[in-house]
Amino acid sequence: MDVYHGLPHLTASNGCELTIGNFDGVHRGHQELIRRLVAAAREAGRLAGALTFSPHPMRVLRADAEVAYLTTLDERLALLEPLGLDFVVVYPFTEETARTSASAFVQELTSHLQMRRMWVGPDFALGHNREGDVPTLRRLGREMGFTVEVIEPIRVGEHEVRSGHIRRALTEGQVALAAQMLGRPYWLTGEVVKGAGRGQSIGRPTANLSVPSERLIPAYGVYATWCHFDGRRLPAATNIGVRPTFDNGLPTIEAHIIDFDGDLYGEEIRLDFVLRLRPERRFPDVASLIEQIRRDVANARRALAPEPPRFEEIEHTADWSIRIFGRDFADLLSQAGAAMYAMEAVDMSMDPQVWREVEVEAPDREALLVTWLSELLYQSEATGESYTRFVIDEATETRVKARIGGVSGYGDQAHIKAVTYHNLSVEETPDGWVATVVFDT
């Protein structure tokens, strides 16, 4: 993919197919439009190109407004690279650009790039005061020799995929929804800098990330994240906020990289945001904070890279029977869910494509275990998904509230029809919790 800063003079005999936009985030809508553009260009024997602006037009049109980007220019170009485009034009957006009429701008595109077809969304407009809407562009196309192809936005559930909707999701902490719309986790890249040393002092050292000021930072809270550095990907629990238990200082991004004790100062790392575990809150004392961090790390591990489920099969005449082990009752529920899908030969190493909330109640802990597993089976039947991650937000002996991470499809083994009460047991032992469950297959 060739990258031009400013308009080049292309000499392709058949011209090009071109799309124009900011492409902030290079989300699934952008990807689908470009996929169709590239396919059409190949069929017509034309070049496939995109034109993007730098800086973002809002930086010029509303200089006093705070504009938070989903991606830097370099990240945008890197995300566009694998989509099959022949070239990308980075067009400098200035006050003069903002004053340029739609007709004059399109004339530049046809004369410099030999544009034969323009690909846009239904709300697209360019030129001074956004005068170049789709009807205007089609009229100009008839005069200048190009056509306009309009691609409708795609949807994720009830959400139309747009950069603005992704920004809103992130500012609300909905990083899993943002990932569905982006087609990848939202990430932040930056240098690890010295912090206040609070994490080290309580036994949870953190990597403090410095990111470009224009990047959008998700809502305050604790997140399950993947930390990338030096070719490695490690699970992390990341806090964004002002550390209210200590000093309410300046906002920071602090990642506790699980099972890692190396020195990353001065290194560049990338954090992929997978799931918001909880909002930021103030704790009455440091001991309470330390206990919550322990739970955060456990939930981050469950969301990202859980250990193989701890269970064993028990010989049974016809159906499947298993014994499950948990460190505490919440862990027992998580292990039970993982064991059930592992029995169906689901690949439990697969990263979730979607996260769903589940909440069930029952009169006692035995009934709760059956109700919990039965709800997972119901969700699978309703959605066509199998679940590989189980983040337990709240667990008592009569109620569980959780997030479950799912992948499309089912396992290769016999499908579990129901969870039975036959030989059911749940008990606490000196070493943790143990449960026995029989599944009807």
The predicted pLDDT at position 260 comes to: 86
Domain shared by 115 and 9, yes or no: yes
The predicted pLDDT at position 306 comes to: 72
Residue 27 included in any domain: yes
115/109 Cα distance (integer angstroms): 6
Residue 169 included in any domain: no
Residue 170 included in any domain: no
Peptide bond into 82 cis (omega under 30): no
Q: Is the pLDDT of residue 363 over 80?
A: yes
212/210 Cα distance (integer angstroms): 7
Q: Which residue, 211, 212, 205, 208, is CA-closest to 195?
A: 208
pLDDT over 70, % of the chain: 94
The predicted pLDDT at position 426 comes to: 94
**pLDDT tens by residue, 217-234:** 999 999 999 999 989 999
Q: Over the range 255-286, which residues count as b (16 or more CB within 10 Å of their CB) and which as e?
A: bbbbebeeebeeeebbbbbbbbbeebeeeeee
Mean pLDDT score, 389-413 = 90
The predicted pLDDT at position 315 comes to: 75
Residue 160 included in any domain: no
The predicted pLDDT at position 196 comes to: 60
Domain shared by 342 and 238, yes or no: no
Is residue 286 within 8 Å of 292, Cβ to Cβ?
no
Q: What is the mean pLDDT of the chain?
A: 89
Domain shared by 222 and 249, yes or no: yes
- Give me the count of residues in the chain: 441
Domain shared by 147 and 17, yes or no: yes
Number of other residues whose CB lies within 10 A of the CB of residue 109 = 22
Q: Is the pLDDT of residue 285 over 80?
A: no
The predicted pLDDT at position 60 comes to: 73
Q: CA triplet 400, 401, 407: central angle to 5 degrees? A: 115
Strands of 319-371, DSSP E:
320-326, 354-361
The predicted pLDDT at position 82 comes to: 96
Residue 164 included in any domain: no
**pLDDT tens by residue, 239-258:** 998 765 555 556 889 999 98
Q: Is the pLDDT of residue 350 over 60?
A: yes
Q: Classify residue 129 by burial, with Cβ atoms within 10 Å: 0-12, 13-18, 19+.
A: exposed
The predicted pLDDT at position 142 comes to: 94
Mean pLDDT score, 339-367 = 92
The predicted pLDDT at position 145 comes to: 93
Domain shared by 102 and 238, yes or no: no
Q: Which of 285, 304, 323 is the last residue of a domain?
A: 304
**pLDDT tens by residue, 123-165:** 999 988 888 899 999 999 999 999 999 999 999 888 899 999 9
Residue 161 included in any domain: no
Q: Which of 276, 304, 332 is the last residue of a domain?
A: 304
Q: Which two tokens stand for residue 286?
A: 């440091």
The predicted pLDDT at position 195 comes to: 65
The predicted pLDDT at position 282 comes to: 79
Domain shared by 354 and 378, yes or no: yes
Q: Is the pLDDT of residue 200 over 60?
A: no
Residue 366 included in any domain: yes
Is residue 115 within 8 Å of 134, Cβ to Cβ?
no
Q: Is the pLDDT of residue 276 over 90?
A: yes
Domain shared by 359 and 284, yes or no: no
Give the distance from CA 412 to its chain's centroid.
28
**pLDDT tens by residue, 203-220:** 567 788 988 888 999 999
The predicted pLDDT at position 248 comes to: 52
Mean pLDDT score, 32-56 = 94
Q: Helices 329-343 and 365-383 meet at what angle, rounded to 10? A: 40
Is residue 258 within 8 Å of 314, Cβ to Cβ?
no
Q: Is the pLDDT of residue 76 over 60?
A: yes
Domain shared by 217 and 263, yes or no: yes
The predicted pLDDT at position 127 comes to: 86
Query: Residue 420 sits in which domain range?
Result: 311-440
The predicted pLDDT at position 241 comes to: 86
Mean pLDDT score, 275-290 = 81
Domain shared by 14 and 57, yes or no: yes
pTM of the predicted structure, to 2 decimals: 0.84
Q: Is the pLDDT of residue 107 over 80?
A: yes
The predicted pLDDT at position 11 comes to: 76
Domain shared by 207 and 252, yes or no: yes
Domain shared by 82 and 131, yes or no: yes
The predicted pLDDT at position 49 comes to: 96
| Dihedrals phi, psi of 339, to nearest 5 degrees | -65, -40
Residue 111 included in any domain: yes
User: What is residue 115's three-state secondary structure?
Assistant: strand
CATH number of the domain within which 86 lies:
3.40.50.620
The predicted pLDDT at position 316 comes to: 66
CATH number of the domain within which 258 lies:
2.40.30.30
How many domains are contained in the chain? 3
67/47 Cα distance (integer angstroms): 32
Domain shared by 8 and 142, yes or no: yes
The predicted pLDDT at position 93 comes to: 86
Range with the lowest mean pLDDT among 237-251, 277-291, 296-310?
237-251
